[in-house]
C-alpha cells in the first residue's frame, strides 16, 4: 500500500471549531490582532493555518507531516456532536473527557503557546551565553554584539515536544473546576480568537490581570467560546471530573456582560480575532497591543541561575525564523 500523501495545510484553529462563528454565508471575519481595521472575510478552511505547522523530524531525519495533524483531526470529529449536546443541555457522561481533550489540545497547539515555549528556550540559551561570557569561556564578541543582542532562533520541534507538559498543566487546572455552558440571550454574538482557551485569577484587578496566573490554591476562571451563542465557563468549585457531576447551564441577558466577555476573548487573542460581524474593528483596536506574552527573569542560585516565566499582556514580539543553518 502506498504511503498516505503528505498533508500540507495544518490548521492551528480547527475548521470545525471556527464553523461555529461563521455568518449566514459560512464566512468568518478575521481581524489581524495588530491591525484590526484590516478585517477580511474568509471561509473557515482558508484561515488559521500554516503549511506543515505540525511537521516533526523523525529519528532518521525525515519529515513526518501527518502524525500530529491526523491526531488532531481524530479528536475534532467529535466536536459538532459535543456542541449540539451542550446546546441542548444533554448530559455528556463519559463524553466529557472528549470535550476536555479537545479543549486542552486547543490551548497547546496554537501559536501563542508554541511561541512562548520557543521564546523560553531562546532565553535559556541566552542565559547560558551570559554565564559562559561571565566566566571568560567565550571568545571576544564581534563589534557591536553581545549576549543581549545576539538573535537566537529555536527549532520548532522543541515546542511540539513540549505539548505533553503543557497538556498536563492545563489538565490539572480543569480538574479543579466546575463548569457551565453560558447561553447568550442578547443580540450581541460571542467572538473568538486564535488563542481561545482563557484562564486567569478573577480576584486580580482588571488593569493588572495576568494571563494564565492560576496556581493551585488560588481561584480560577476558564473561558472557552464554543459558538456565536455559547461559551463554556469553568470556575473554582466542585470539580465535575472528580465528582462525576455534569456541566451546568447559565444564561446571560445583559449586553454589557457579553461585551465584557468579548473584551477578555479579544485580549487573549494572539494573531487573530474571529467573529461573524465584520464591523468590530474600532472596538478591537483597543486590544491591538494586548496579547498574552511571556516575560522572563534570570534568578541567581547558589550554583548557576534559574529562568522564571510570567505572562503579561503586551505587544506580540517578533520571533526569529528557524532554519537549520542558524541553530542556536
**pLDDT score of 326:** 43
Domain housing 19: 9-326
In a domain, 2, yes or no: no
**Confidence tier at 58 by pLDDT (50, 70, 90):** confident
Q: What is the mean pLDDT of residues 72-100?
A: 95
The pLDDT value recorded for residue 248 is: 95
| Segment 253-311, tens digit of pLDDT | 999 999 999 999 999 999 999 999 999 999 999 999 999 999 998 887 777 778 889 99
Residues 6+ apart with CB under 8 A from 63: 6, 52, 55, 56, 57
pLDDT tens by residue, 146-173: 888 888 999 999 999 999 999 999 999 9
Letter string b/e over residues 303-325, b meaning 16 or more CB atoms within 10 A of that residue's CB: eeeeeeeebebeebeeeeebeee
Is 3 inside any structural domain? no
Q: How many domains does the chain have?
A: 1
Write a three-state SS string for the chain.
CCCCCCCCEEECCCHHHHHHHCCCCCCEEEEECCCCCCCEEECHHHCCEEECCCCEECCCCCEECCHHHHHHHHHHCCHHHHHHHHHHCCCCHHHHHHHHHHHHHHHHCCHHHHHHHHHHHHHHHHHHHHHHHHCCCCCCCCCCCCCCCCCCECCCHHHHHCHHHHHHHHHHHHCCEEEEEEEECCCCCCCEECCCCEEECCCCCHHHCCCCCCCCCCCCEEEEECCCCEEEEEEECCCHHHHCCCCEEEEECCHHHHHHHHHHHHHHCCCEEEECCCCCHHHHHHHCCCEEEEEEEEEECCCCEEEEEEEEEECCCCCCCCCHHHEC
Residue 2 has pLDDT above 70, yes or no: no
Summarize the confidence of residues 58-74 as an average pLDDT.
89
**Does 258 fall in a domain?**
yes
Q: Is 121 part of any domain?
A: yes
Is the pLDDT score of 250 beyond 90? yes
Work out the average pLDDT over 123-128.
Answer: 90
Is residue 269 assigned to a domain? Answer: yes
Q: How confident is the model at residue 134 (pLDDT cuts 50, 70, 90)?
A: confident
Domain presence at residue 292: yes
Taking the model in full, what pTM does it have?
Answer: 0.93
Residue 1 lies in a domain: no
Q: What is the pLDDT of residues 107-117, one digit of tens each?
A: 999 999 999 99
Question: How would residue 3 be classed by pLDDT, with cut points 50, 70 and 90?
Answer: low
Count of beta carbons in the 10 Å neighbourhood of residue 278:
15
Of 2 and 50, which is predicted with more confidence? 50
Residue 200, domain member (yes or no)? yes
Amino acid at each position: 500500500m502506498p504511503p498516505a500523501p503528505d498533508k500540507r495545510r495544518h490548521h492551528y484553529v480547527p475548521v470545525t471549531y471556527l464553523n461555529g462563528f461563521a455568518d449566514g454565508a459560512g464566512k468568518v471575519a478575521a481581524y489581524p490582532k495588530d491591525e484590526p481595521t484590516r478585517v477580511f472575510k474568509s471561509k473557515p478552511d482558508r484561515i488559521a493555518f500554516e503549511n506543515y505547522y505540525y511537521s516533526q523530524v523523525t529519528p532518521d531525519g525525515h519529515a513526518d507531516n501527518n502524525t500530529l495533524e491526523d491526531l488532531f483531526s481524530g479528536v475534532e470529529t467529535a466536536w459538532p456532536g459535543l456542541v449540539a449536546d451542550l446546546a441542548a443541555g444533554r448530559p455528556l457522561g463519559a463524553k466529557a473527557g472528549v470535550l476536555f481533550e479537545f479543549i486542552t489540545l486547543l490551548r497547546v497547539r496554537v501559536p501563542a503557546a508554541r511561541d512562548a515555549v520557543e521564546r523560553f528556550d531562546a532565553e535559556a540559551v541566552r542565559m547560558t551565553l551570559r554565564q559562559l561570557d561571565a566566566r571568560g569561556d567565550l571568545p571576544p564578541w564581534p563589534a557591536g554584539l553581545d549576549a543581549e543582542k545576539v538573535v537566537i532562533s529555536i527549532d520548532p520541534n522543541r515546542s511540539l515536544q513540549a505539548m505533553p507538559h503543557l497538556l498536563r498543566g492545563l489538565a490539572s487546572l480543569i480538574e479543579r473546576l466546575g463548569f457551565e455552558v453560558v447561553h447568550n440571550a442578547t443580540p450581541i454574538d460571542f467572538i473568538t480568537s486564535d488563542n481561545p482557551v482563557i484562564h486567569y485569577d478573577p480576584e486580580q484587578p482588571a488593569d493588572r490581570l495576568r494571563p494564565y496566573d492560576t496556581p493551585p490554591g488560588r481561584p480560577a476562571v476558564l473561558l472557552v467560546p464554543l459558538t456565536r451563542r455559547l461559551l463554556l465557563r469553568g470556575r473554582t468549585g466542585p470539580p465535575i471530573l472528580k465528582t462525576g457531576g455534569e456541566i451546568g447551564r447559565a444564561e446571560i441577558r445583559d449586553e454589557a456582560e457579553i461585551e465584557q466577555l468579548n473584551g477578555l476573548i479579544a485580549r487573549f487573542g494572539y494573531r487573530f480575532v474571529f467573529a461573524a460581524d465584520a464591523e468590530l474593528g474600532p472596538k478591537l483596536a483597543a486590544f491591538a497591543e494586548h496579547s498574552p506574552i511571556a516575560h522572563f527573569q534570570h534568578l541567581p542560585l547558589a550554583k548557576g541561575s534559574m529562568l522564571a516565566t510570567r505572562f503579561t499582556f503586551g505587544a506580540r514580539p517578533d520571533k526569529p525564523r528557524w532554519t537549520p543553518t542558524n541553530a542556536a
